[in-house]
Structure 1
Amino acid sequence: MTLQTGQHADNAMASTALLGSGIVLVWNDIDEAGRAQFYEWHDKEHIPERLAIPGFKRGRRLRRAGHSPEWLTMYEAADLDVMSSPEYMTRLNTPTPATTKTLTYFRNTSRAVCRPVFSVGESTGGHVLAIRIDRAASSDATPEAYLRDVAFPQAMASTGVLACHLFASDQASFLDTEESRTRAFDVPAWIVLVEASTEEAAERAREWIDAPQLRDAGLRPRPDAAVYALEICRLGASSRST
């Protein structure tokens, strides 16, 4: 099967489990010396701080014990404009002392501000298969056609798979801010997330997503894909029921 380039379908976001059309995805390890501080800061300061910014809908952190990178954090927002809003830029350019200190412990970090390209499924899961995909320098192909027409339908037909999402990184990933200067990070071109009710179901989906068709088109799924388990979920003020 030949992968095709092009814009995503107009109905790509219809009836999905996502809470908006913008998302920040962060993978990281933590130096052992900063592990306790990371949990204290992330649980009680950072996630609440981000979810207090207008437009942020939900924050989730997931972990794969013994894997590198160990954590995956997901911040969903109403749209990509939230990622360059004055309120968000203020936070990125005036990080708290705890933020500045904790980020020095980050290792093996990826950070991408993304837009959803194609998404199916209406439920979130406690287990998420996360695959970062890089593009070969000579290729302008996208994984959309193969994932939309072949891999995602196969995965969704499997018991326990609840949703599949394809994201493309946005230029907002590369904004120079005070916070971004505190640590080195890379930006993957594409990200696939498969949400499932069990670890086994999420792991099974890997065989359809990480397929030869992607490599044949000049796309490179990273070998460190993993199934992460949910540690914390918090809704933004505008997403909470009254």
Structure 2
Amino acid sequence: MPLRGTAALAMWWDMAPDMKPEFEHWHSHEHFPERLGVPGFRRASRWTSAGGGEGVFVMYDVASHAVLSSQAYVHHLNSPTPWSTKMMPHHRNMVRSQCHVLASAGSAVARHALTLRLSPQPGRGDDLRASLRTLCEDLAQRPGLVGAHLLQHQTPDMPETTEQRIRNSADRFADRVLVVLGYTSEVLERLLHTDLSQEALRHAGAADGAVSGLYTLSHSASAEEFASEHLPALV
């Protein structure tokens, strides 16, 4: 199934190894249910660095870009729980992109994820979008791969939130985001030397300096899963 909306929230950060066990416990058992309780948040997925490093990649499927500045979501951003308040300062080097979905082909969850953060060359935004849209459709059908998704950031019109202040550093963002998903990590790695090499990206219209990362799935959940936990038991 493709992304479950016309928007997505894509985030990257580093988490120190000594904090990772508590972070994943909090993120799966408090933070995911909280976020997926916000109207319009439809799925949450977390991947961690495939090489065992500190990197974390999280993506939320969102009904529309307006959800990312909705009253319900902003309320949570400005009212973090005590556990969230403890964990937020440990989110280092945050990159947070509030995106429109430009293309979504194939599945949105898989064991392995390759992310690419990039920007277009001046005057070549349309070229880059067209090229990567076509590539998404192709990649989603290749052996070893199951999906590819192209996103574009747009900053919502809203003031700094309490969570941002707790992290004690300004969030950066990725202008364009490409997420490729698969069941064979080697196929994803090869893309960085073929279809997604610096030369190929430059030809497609991307500026030099794209940032790539390989990740392994840690947890994925839908809003319906958590909603069902509050339904009365069947008798």
TM-score range, shorter chain: 0.7 to 0.9
Offset from partner CA, 1:163-219 (integer Å, 9 cap, x none)? 111100011287521112222321010000011122123223332133424335352
Contact 2:103/2:136 (8 A) holds in 1: no
Q: What TM-score do you get using the length of structure 2 for normalisation?
A: 0.83
- Write the distance in 2 (CA, Å) between the matches of 1:218 and 1:74: 23
Name the structure 2 match of 1:191. 177
Name the structure 2 match of 1:234. 221
Name the structure 1 match of 2:6. 21
Structure 1: 5+ residue runs without aligned partners? 1-15
Contact 2:11/2:58 (8 A) holds in 1: yes
Contact 2:107/2:181 (8 A) holds in 1: no
What are the residue-to-residue correspondences of 1:149-188 with 2, within 5 Å?
149=134, 151-172=135-156, 175-183=159-167, 184=169, 185-188=171-174
- Write the distance in 1 (CA, Å) between the matches of 2:206 and 2:107: 31
Contact 1:163/1:196 (8 A) holds in 2: yes
What are the residue-to-residue correspondences of 1:1-242 with 2, within 5 Å?
17-66=2-51, 70-122=55-107, 124-135=109-120, 139-142=122-125, 143-149=128-134, 151-172=135-156, 175-183=159-167, 184=169, 185-206=171-192, 207-215=194-202, 217=205, 219-223=207-211, 225-237=212-224
| Local SS of the residue matching 2:208 | strand
Contact 1:57/1:239 (8 A) holds in 2: no
Q: What TM-score do you get using the length of structure 1 for normalisation?
A: 0.81
Q: Offset of 1:62 from its aligned partner? A: 0.5
Contact 1:128/1:196 (8 A) holds in 2: yes
Structure 2: 5+ residue runs without aligned partners? none
The two structures, once aligned, show a CA RMSD in angstroms of 2.6
Contact 1:103/1:182 (8 A) holds in 2: yes
| Local SS of the residue matching 1:186 | coil
**Count of residue pairs brought into register by the alignment:** 223
Letter in 1 for 2:43: R
Percent identical residues? 28
Q: Offset of 1:141 from its aligned partner? A: 2.3
Letter in 2 for 1:164: A
Contact 2:109/2:181 (8 A) holds in 1: yes
Contact 1:173/1:187 (8 A) holds in 2: no
Q: Offset of 1:237 from its aligned partner? A: 2.9
In structure 2, relative to structure 1, the CA distance for the partners of 1:29 and 1:123 (3 Å cut) is closer
In structure 2, relative to structure 1, the CA distance for the partners of 1:79 and 1:30 (3 Å cut) is same
Q: Offset of 1:157 from its aligned partner? A: 4.6
Name the structure 2 match of 1:12. none
Contact 2:101/2:152 (8 A) holds in 1: yes
- Write the distance in 1 (CA, Å) between the matches of 2:38 and 2:65: 13
Letter in 2 for 1:141: R
Contact 1:59/1:235 (8 A) holds in 2: yes
